[in-house]
Structure 1
Amino acid sequence: MSIKSGSLSYLALQRFKKNLWGVFSLAIILVIGFVAIFAYVFAPDNSQYANQMQLSLHSMPPGFETTLLSVPNNNTNQQQSKLSKWFFGNKNPDTQIPISDYRIENDQIIYTEFTPNSSIKVEKEIPLGVFQGQDISKHIKVTKFVFGTDKYGRDLLSRIMIGARISFFIGFIAVFISLVIGIFLGSIAGFYGGKVDALVMWIINVTWSIPTLLLVIAITLALGKGFWQVFIAVGLTMWVEVARVVRGQIMSLKEMQYVTAARALGYNDFRIITKHILPNIMAPVIVIAAANFAAAILIESGLSFLGLGAQPPMASWGAMIKDHYNYIILGKPYLALIPAFCIMLLVMSFMLVGNALRDAFDVKAS
């Protein structure tokens, strides 16, 4: 549906476009969202959860380069479509072996394993038949770890890209749940008032009196640890503010003349709320939704740090900070600071977009 020139939506869009930080932050969110969706396409390590471990490469600095020997995994029992690899990672990846040297003798490839201590040399061999007649040189390549490796020798850049999925999508799912519950309860409380309003407000006050993190932990423990459980738990704690705003807005609008006219025409309450009142109060709801995106990301990061969020080996920015926060005093702070910076960037972007939307929807703005 096109936005008509001169409409409030059109004017709000024009004001939003003039907000440099709002547009820039929205661009950052879109880029992170695109990377999160197609993380396995862009990640150097496209194995599921980017979980290729090379313990000899643990805690290597950003920009580290080494030679990797890729040994084909000839397990034909796990056939996987290309589309599945793009969105869920390669469940049957080749084995990556860091090497410092190799040679071919007697139908075998003899390689020297890479070790941080160059004085220690261990030679091992692999039959050439494993490569099924393929050119060996195609299985040996120099790999650069742009962000270095974590304490398990996994590519940190790949883990960051795949970890963006949890931080990004928890915002969408949690905000969607909060909007559905908050708009429904806020609408019936504001429109009908009386005992319905008193009951909804009692539920709101009880929910609001419980610390958010404590409530999320309780719901997570009730539903079990896991990926989707955290999404639902966070969403169930973020509807209160939405409900209060919707309730207040509807209470101020339900006596307006156009609502009275709708009642006179015989429209039912559901149509009056959904078609006539809610479209006029969506501006503050959108602003709250943008702020809740940021809050959901922070809550999930905190839960992952406490071990209640995404479970290993699933990549999560909060879990990555938990795994490496002690490296801050061990001389390798980047292992914790890189995911922390990613969280800060995404949260700040959502907050700036929320501020820009607030200014754009402000009818008093010139």
Structure 2
Amino acid sequence: MRSSTSTNGAAACAARASTAAMKRPIIHCPSSRRVPSRRRVFATSVAAAAILLAVAVLGVALMPQAVQTDMGARSLAPSFEHLFGTDRLGHDMLVRTVAGLAQSVLIGLLAAGASALIALALGTAAALGGRKVDAAITWLIDLMLGIPHIVLLILISYAMGKGFVGVVVGIALTHWPSLARVVRAEVLQVKNAPYVALSRKLGQSRLAVAARHVLPHVLPQFIVGTILLFPHAVLHEASVTFLGFGLSPESAAIGIILSESMSYLSAGMWWLAVFPGLALIGVVMLFDAVGQGLRRLSDPASAQE
């Protein structure tokens, strides 16, 4: 009797399990939410970067207004009249922030472009110049990478009298090693290609081989590296200016704005640091996203994702 009862109980449990399994959905419908593709995200980032560059061009025209004082509108909180508020001298913080971003973008473009050209020249020379040239340039790259960027940047900027030229030269001379290493690796890869060896056997010079075969292969990585250098240049310009070794205190720079705001945060004037800081972070993250998106699109392994 006991065995038959246990058998009936097991059968009932099996029947209930099979019924529950039949009620469960066998095929799961895919989610209707669509994940944006990388190409769409990249196109959005490029459009936002183009708008930002247009705003930066507008900011150059606003630089004279950024230093105009209005003693009747001192230390005002954000409002419809002054969206970013005003400082202790009555400067409109929106105008001053846009002018500061324009100056940072201009410095970033010049410094990143000059640094990228240095990286291209040294990386190509290291790969095509023989063992001694390669050893010397590799040693120089390792030496530059062993020194913190901000320390060397401060020393170069201070030695050149600080200011606009000192910051641009300092950033250009300190940010090329990583890109130079990438260029060297790409050139070494294409150097051993059969068509390059055939060109050398046909009597073409090293300069002709570099111009016709090496540079077109290296160009995508070079463009990506140049774009990725830009946010670093902007961030380091603001950092060295914040520490007092960059642009002059009279200029409307993001680093100067943030440095001055430190004295008034305890008085409740939070808008002096929040809005310029968010604008600087937004610029850096936006151009970093553009560079990363371009890097993914130029990589054959992830271009179709």
- 1:18 deviates by 5.1
3-state SS of paired residue (1:38): helix
CA distance in 2, matches of 1:161, 1:185: 36
**When you count helix as a share of all residues, which structure comes out higher?**
2
CA gap of 1:196–1:257, structure 2 versus 1, over 3 A, is same
Match of 2:46 in 1: 26
CA distance in 1, matches of 2:42, 2:265: 33
Report how many aligned residue pairs link the two structures. Answer: 268
Identical-pair percentage: 33
**When you count strand as a share of all residues, which structure comes out higher?**
1
The Cα RMSD (Å) is 1.9
**Match among 268, 293, 296 for residue 356 of structure 1:** 293
| 1:254-293 to 2 correspondences below 5 Å | 254-293=191-230
1:253 counterpart = 2:269: no
CA distance in 2, matches of 1:300, 1:244: 23
CA distance in 2, matches of 1:271, 1:328: 60
**Match among 34, 54, 63 for residue 79 of structure 2:** 63
Match of 1:53 in 2: 69
CA gap of 1:336–1:198, structure 2 versus 1, over 3 A, is same
1:180 counterpart = 2:84: no
3-state SS of paired residue (1:280): helix
> Residue by residue, what CA displacement relative to the aligned partner does 1:328-357 show, whole Å, maximum 9, x if unpaired?
332221110111001111001011111111
CA distance in 1, matches of 2:98, 2:292: 27
CA distance in 2, matches of 1:246, 1:227: 29
Moved more, 49-58 or 159-168: 49-58
Structure 1 or 2, whichever has the larger Rg, is 2
Give the conservation status (yes or no) of the 8 Å contact 1:186–1:246: yes
- 1:175 deviates by 1.2
Match of 1:298 in 2: 235
**Match among 69, 82, 86 for residue 145 of structure 1:** 82
- 1:214 deviates by 0.5
> Residue by residue, what CA displacement relative to the aligned partner does 1:125-146 show, whole Å, maximum 9, x if unpaired?
xxxxxxxxxxxxxxxxxxx322
Give the conservation status (yes or no) of the 8 Å contact 1:187–1:247: yes
Match of 2:93 in 1: 156
- 1:19 deviates by 2.3
Give the conservation status (yes or no) of the 8 Å contact 1:49–1:315: no
**Match among 136, 139, 157 for residue 199 of structure 1:** 136
CA distance in 2, matches of 1:237, 1:40: 26
Which amino acid in the other structure matches residue 165 of structure 2? W
Which amino acid in the other structure matches residue 133 of structure 2? V
Give the conservation status (yes or no) of the 8 Å contact 2:230–2:287: yes
Give the conservation status (yes or no) of the 8 Å contact 1:58–1:149: yes
CA distance in 2, matches of 1:59, 1:25: 35
1:208 counterpart = 2:145: yes
Gaps of 5+ in 1: 1-16, 65-143
1:309 counterpart = 2:272: no
Match of 1:70 in 2: none
CA distance in 1, matches of 2:185, 2:38: 30
The alignment's TM-score, normalised by the length of structure 2, stands at 0.83
CA distance in 1, matches of 2:48, 2:286: 7
Match of 1:222 in 2: 159
> Residue by residue, what CA displacement relative to the aligned partner does 1:289-320 show, whole Å, maximum 9, x if unpaired?
22211111110010111111221321111111
CA distance in 1, matches of 2:173, 2:288: 21
Which amino acid in the other structure matches residue 311 of structure 1? S
CA distance in 1, matches of 2:113, 2:268: 41
